[in-house]
Structure 1
Amino acid sequence: MQFIDQAEIEVRAGKGGDGIVAFRREKYVPAGGPAGGNGGRGGSVWIRATAHLQTLLDFKYARTFKAEDGQRGGPKNMTGAAGADRWIEVPCGTLIYDAKTGELLGDLVQPGQTLCVAQGGKGGLGNAHFLSNSNRAPERALPGLPGEVRQLRLELKLLAEVGIIGLPNAGKSTLISVLSAARPKIADYPFTTLVPNLGVVRKPTGDGTVFADIPGLIEGAHLGVGLGHEFLRHVERTRLLLHLVDATGPDPIAAYHTIQAELQAYGRGLAERPQIVVLNKLDAIGPDQLMPLVEQFQAELGQPILQISAATGLGLETLLQAVWDHLDAPAEMPPDLSPLAKAEVGQL
């Protein structure tokens, strides 16, 4: 499946139906009078979050969405039929912006959460509406009002509790493939992972926790260098970051600081997000090299550092227990979740 996490679309609400001019002329109704009905309202455009989608791929080719127009009024004071609403489904975690103003219209994080993004036009009034003591036979009716037209920008931020970050080739894809049923591409060269991968890891209680393998960051990622900058937004919602460091790299300490600097430069609270720093690839490094490295990290961080081998499974139980301990501790909602995500967003 192609991973698309940004899209621009146009939404067009339906036009309201026209009111009509009509008079009653039944045989036994001598004073029939005006009987032109109102037009029906135009359909609105709604966006609904669903758990059945994972990307915005559906919007790569379909970019215009239009609701149905309302029907014109009928004789005998009959109101025209309302236009059908248009429903657009997006993955959970999608933010909807007005593309022209940049205003955040809604943040749909729960399945079934809805947002009206274009209101249908009102139906026009028929001549029956204009009946008065001074005008017993009005010949005036109003056209329906046009519906709203909007340019929208959709931005998907994956809903994962744990984000796995690190420089290219740190072993992130191997780790998520071992912990979950995810099967990302794995190879011994950098930038193997080109899109985020999601995997569900089962807790001892049986509940599932979503882990996200974020493509490798490099120095300058926040400025658009490399691939990682495209996906930094996906760690904004995570409660915990697993920072994997390649213990076999030329300078693991520098690698750690490179990622920390990118999180700090990107902002939005990523640098303050709780992290578990993990030395990976113990199977490829000797004890004489490992111990000085561990001591350096512990002096740098002021706390013990976890050591694993994702390829052999060494240390994974200890790592998972540390993850569960962090997630089970009381935590505030990540700052990215706007009030719109917690409040009712059924209408603008």
Structure 2
Amino acid sequence: MLLSATRQRGLWTSLQRPSFLCIHSCRIHSTNYLWQDQDDQRKRRSIDYKLRGKGRQFVDFMRVVARGGNGGDGCVSFHREKFLAKGPPNGGNGGRGGSVIIRASSDETTLRRLGRACTAKRGENGLGGGRHGTKGDDLVIQVPVGTIVREVAPASTTNADEEEEEELDEREKRDKRWVYYPRMDPDQHEHELASTGRKNYFLEAERMMDEEEKYLKWRERKERQQGAIYADLAEHDQQVIVCYGGLGGYGNPHFLTTDNRSPKWATRGRAGEQRALTLELKTIADIGLVGLPNAGKSTLLGSISNAHPKQAAYAFTTLHPFVGTVDYADQYQLTVADIPGLIQGAHRNVGLGHAFLRHVERAKLLVYVVDLGGDAPWDDLKILQNELEQYRPGLTKRQSLIVANKADQVAMAKGNLAILEEKVRADKIPVVPVSAKYEKNILKLTAILRKNVERIRQQETEQRQHQQQQQHDLDDQD
């Protein structure tokens, strides 16, 4: 009886507190949703890590702000020695700032080592005794062969510089340009000269520097009209100067005249050039392997060359281009680039489309790798050709070859090979069936690759010689 009364009392108490149960159930419900959101975020992060995180070991596109070194300041100094109380001025000029140079090197394979901001060394200040400051060290940026350097914006924004100068008062403008001798105050000096009626040589020096400033700005506008920087560093040790260092300041002997025998001022060094650049790496190789994910490109590259790319039975095993070298018995060599797998819509940058497609442009010979054991390898070929043509019109007209991989899967490979050859017969594209996994028919494939590459190289050599001959004839006519 007592037990039943206790149970009824407990039940009545629980019925009197429905809000607690409701809040508790809401908390559990919200926690379940939180767990689901965390799972979705974890999945998205894992995909992003696969496509971008691990692939950042290979960087083929980067934005860089390059700055030339500032020039060193000029020196205000006078010759002093025993029995010579007031000697002539002997302050040295400041050294010029270092330049920023981008140089192609075959020892580099990625842009990963570059920083976002690259600044050259500043020139040293001039010293007394007529000692000029030394030039600042140039900053040489090593990039892989095949890097394209583009200027994003003009070298300088003249309007912004003029607005900044307008905000400064006259005293700040002077201090930004001039270096004074100790206890030399230009305002006080000007006031003293005006009260005594003597000539102000400092104003003459300012007018001279204003004329020089106008000339430098005119020359900068002329250089900017020539166009933005664009350089294709396709050869080893090819280089381009992207930012020149600023000029060094003048020492006080520069302002020496027959009337003014003791100038007590010098100029500061000028700022170096600043440019915003984009560096884009396009792999240079004789042959480019193009295919859908998991078509066997990495396995094929490992079987025909000395490269050892990662191989696995899932898509997007390769996240960046992998270049291997094919060695022949007579010491002949050619390079093969394994382009990561393209998917439908890659020309619209679906997945990492543009990051992969840019490396196809420089290949002399395009090799389409299709899975002969798939349902419709001819449809895979059509997708690849469509993506290449949409990305760069005319790219599919380049010399090409079809490698029908996974021919060891006899159940479907034999019938698919006959249909594939029939569909590409009108385009006259050779089809070579191979089994990269078991290295079947690899010798025939390497022989065909060499034959095509030799013909293409010979055509390029003849075309280059023809262009040189035309240029030589034009120079003779001039």
**Length-normalised TM-score, structure 2:** 0.65
Q: What do you get for the CA RMSD once the two structures are aligned? A: 2.3
Q: Name the residue aligned to 1:207.
A: 332
What stretches of structure 2 of length at least 5 have no aligned partner? 1-55, 155-226, 462-478
Answer with 1 or 2: which has the greater Rg: 2
Tell me the alpha carbon deviations over residues 144-164 of structure 1, each in whole angstroms, 9 at most, x when there is no partner: 101112222111111211100
Which of 436, 446, 465 matches 1:310? Answer: 436
Taking the aligned partners of 1:298 and 1:271, their CA distance within structure 2 comes to 13
Q: How does 1:187-202 map to 2 (within 5 A)?
A: 187-202=312-327
Residue 17 (str. 1) matches residue 72 (str. 2): yes
- Residues 161 and 226 of structure 1: is their aligned pair in 2 closer, same or farther, counting only changes over 3 Å? same
Residue 87 (str. 1) matches residue 140 (str. 2): yes
Q: Are the counterparts in 2 of residues 157 and 237 from structure 1 also a CA contact under 8 Å?
A: yes
Which of 85, 89, 95 matches 1:34? Answer: 89
Taking the aligned partners of 1:285 and 1:296, their CA distance within structure 2 comes to 18
Report the CA distance between 1:223 and its aligned residue. Answer: 0.2
Taking the aligned partners of 1:302 and 1:182, their CA distance within structure 2 comes to 30
Q: Are the counterparts in 2 of residues 264 and 270 from structure 1 also a CA contact under 8 Å?
A: yes
Taking the aligned partners of 2:423 and 2:406, their CA distance within structure 1 comes to 15
Q: Are the counterparts in 2 of residues 171 and 310 from structure 1 also a CA contact under 8 Å?
A: yes
Taking the aligned partners of 2:247 and 2:236, their CA distance within structure 1 comes to 30
Q: Name the residue aligned to 2:360.
A: 235
Taking the aligned partners of 1:303 and 1:14, their CA distance within structure 2 comes to 55
Tell me the alpha carbon deviations over residues 179-208 of structure 1, each in whole angstroms, 9 at most, x when there is no partner: 122222222232222221111111343133
Taking the aligned partners of 2:432 and 2:60, their CA distance within structure 1 comes to 32
Q: Are the counterparts in 2 of residues 203 and 324 from structure 1 also a CA contact under 8 Å?
A: no
Residue 321 (str. 1) matches residue 321 (str. 2): no
Residue 54 (str. 1) matches residue 109 (str. 2): yes
Report the CA distance between 1:134 and its aligned residue. Answer: 2.7
Q: Name the residue aligned to 1:346.
A: none
% of aligned pairs identical? 42
Q: How does 1:253-292 map to 2 (within 5 A)?
A: 253-267=378-392, 269-286=394-411, 289-290=415-416, 292=418
Q: Name the residue aligned to 2:341.
A: 216
Residue 301 (str. 1) matches residue 427 (str. 2): yes
Report the CA distance between 1:113 and its aligned residue. Answer: 2.0
Q: Are the counterparts in 2 of residues 216 and 227 from structure 1 also a CA contact under 8 Å?
A: no
Taking the aligned partners of 2:84 and 2:126, their CA distance within structure 1 comes to 21
Q: Are the counterparts in 2 of residues 16 and 120 from structure 1 also a CA contact under 8 Å?
A: yes
* Helix, strand or coil at the partner of 1:181: coil
**Length-normalised TM-score, structure 1:** 0.88
Q: How does 1:100-249 map to 2 (within 5 A)?
A: 100=153, 103-249=228-374
Q: Are the counterparts in 2 of residues 67 and 85 from structure 1 also a CA contact under 8 Å?
A: yes
Taking the aligned partners of 2:444 and 2:109, their CA distance within structure 1 comes to 30
Q: Name the residue aligned to 1:345.
A: none
Higher mean C-alpha deviation, range 289-298 or range 77-86: 289-298
Q: In the alignment, residue 319 of structure 1 is paired with which amino acid? A: L
Report the CA distance between 1:5 and its aligned residue. Answer: 0.8
Higher fraction of strand: 1
What stretches of structure 1 of length at least 5 have no aligned partner? 334-348
Report the CA distance between 1:288 and its aligned residue. Answer: 5.0
Q: In the alignment, residue 423 of structure 2 is paired with which amino acid? A: F
Taking the aligned partners of 2:93 and 2:74, their CA distance within structure 1 comes to 4
Taking the aligned partners of 1:156 and 1:89, their CA distance within structure 2 comes to 12
- Residues 116 and 141 of structure 1: is their aligned pair in 2 closer, same or farther, counting only changes over 3 Å? same
Taking the aligned partners of 2:428 and 2:145, their CA distance within structure 1 comes to 38
Residue 251 (str. 1) matches residue 376 (str. 2): yes
Taking the aligned partners of 2:294 and 2:94, their CA distance within structure 1 comes to 63
Tell me the alpha carbon deviations over residues 189-248 of structure 1, each in whole angstroms, 9 at most, x when there is no partner: 322222211111113431332111111112211001133432111111111111112112
- Residues 303 and 75 of structure 1: is their aligned pair in 2 closer, same or farther, counting only changes over 3 Å? closer
Higher mean C-alpha deviation, range 286-295 or range 103-112: 286-295
Taking the aligned partners of 1:269 and 1:303, their CA distance within structure 2 comes to 16
* Helix, strand or coil at the partner of 2:266: coil
Q: Are the counterparts in 2 of residues 38 and 78 from structure 1 also a CA contact under 8 Å?
A: yes
Taking the aligned partners of 2:308 and 2:84, their CA distance within structure 1 comes to 77
Q: In the alignment, residue 230 of structure 1 is paired with which amino acid? A: A
Q: How many residue pairs are counted as aligned between the two chains? A: 332
Q: Name the residue aligned to 2:208.
A: none
Report the CA distance between 1:28 and its aligned residue. Answer: 5.0
Taking the aligned partners of 2:369 and 2:68, their CA distance within structure 1 comes to 48
